[in-house]
């Protein structure tokens, strides 16, 4: 039989050969498209998370150390950030007594060095109403930190432990607190919320 012009129905297997020959290219192309799409969504998610965290990151960068009046100047450390607001645990007031030019604070259950420094400051300011009225809560936070960092005491106080604060040291801390800039006072504001007893 001679070849006749017209449709050739035997060509079917050649079309399926094309799929076999190009299947690797098709699969690779699909993989590249999937990887590119996944990378785009990861990048977009990263950008959204960065945008959400930016205020927190910028807030931490803006916290600057307090001015240095001396090499032993205290700095206030940042509290751990949590989503829940903790209810403050009631803490007993330290016992305070004044001897000569010293204020001696005795620890009660739950007291730390900052509690004792706070009570010593209150005792110091008790008969200085003009000065007490001039000090902002943020400055008092600074003074407490200054006092507890410039006195010798055990890291963990036990009931009955005492810390002696000289009135000269308290006067020095007050003078240093009065020199704080507005920016430093704003940075200390978040700690005021943690110390309602100021």
The answer to whether 120 and 99 are in contact (CB under 8 A) is no
- 41: in domain: yes
Any idea what DSSP says for residue 126? T
The answer on 183 and 107 residing in a single domain is yes
Find the radius of gyration of the CA atoms of the chain: 35
How many domains, the chain?
2
Domain identity same for 57 and 107: no
Cα(168)–Cα(180) distance, integer angstroms:
19
Q: Tell me: the pLDDT tens digits for 51-68?
A: 766 665 555 444 444 444
Claim to verify: residue 48 and residue 121 sit in the same structural domain: no
Instruction: Determine, yes or no, domain membership for 49.
Output: yes
Residues 6 or more apart whose Cβ sits within 8 Å of residue 168: 101
Do 105 and 158 belong to one domain?
Answer: yes
Residue 7 is classified by DSSP as -
What is the per-residue pLDDT for 80?
A: 54
- What stretches in the chain show pLDDT beneath 70? 1-16, 52-91, 196-198
108 and 42 in a common domain: no
The two three-digit tokens of residue 161, written as one number:
């432990």
Q: At what angle do helices 167-177 and 137-149 cross, to 10 degrees?
A: 130
Are 111 and 38 members of one domain?
no
What pLDDT digit, counting tens, does each position of 14-61 carry?
566 877 788 888 899 999 999 999 888 888 887 777 776 666 555 544
> 49 and 131 share a domain?
no
- Beta carbons within 8 Å of 86's beta carbon, 6+ residues apart: none
- Indicate if 162 and 102 belong to the same structural domain: yes
Q: Are residues 121 and 39 in the same domain?
A: no
Sign of dihedral through CA atoms 95, 169, 122, 136?
negative
Q: Return the pLDDT at 77.
A: 53
* CA–CA distances in Å: residue 124 to residues 7, 43, 101, 167, 172: 110, 57, 10, 7, 12
Q: Per the domain annotation, does 81 fall within a domain? A: no
Whole-prediction pTM: 0.53
**Residues 109 and 51 placed together within one structural domain of the fold:** no
Q: Phi and psi dihedrals of 195, rounded to 5?
A: -130, 70
Residue span of the structural domain in which 28 resides: 16-62
Provide the pLDDT for residue 71. 44
177 is a domain residue = yes
């Amino acid at each position: 039989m001679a070849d006749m012009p017209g449709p050739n129905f035997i060509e079917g297997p050649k079309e399926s050969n094309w799929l076999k020959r190009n299947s690797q290219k098709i699969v690779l192309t699909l993989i590249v498209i999937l990887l590119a799409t996944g990378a785009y969504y990861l990048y977009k998610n990263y950008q959204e998370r960065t945008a959400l965290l930016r205020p927190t990151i910028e807030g931490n960068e803006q916290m600057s150390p307090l001015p240095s009046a001396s090499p032993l100047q205290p700095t206030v450390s940042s509290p751990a950030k949590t989503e829940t607001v903790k209810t403050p645990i009631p803490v007993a007031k330290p016992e305070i007594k004044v001897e000569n030019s010293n204020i001696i604070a005795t620890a009660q259950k739950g007291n730390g060095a900052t509690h004792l420094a706070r009570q010593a400051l209150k005792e110091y300011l008790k008969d200085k109403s003009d000065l007490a009225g001039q000090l902002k809560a943020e400055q008092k936070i600074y003074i407490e930190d200054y006092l507890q960092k410039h006195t010798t005491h055990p890291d963990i106080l036990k009931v009955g432990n005492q810390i002696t604060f000289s009135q000269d040291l308290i006067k020095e801390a007050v003078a240093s607190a009065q020199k704080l800039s507005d920016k430093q006072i704003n940075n200390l504001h978040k700690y005021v919320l943690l110390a309602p007893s100021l």
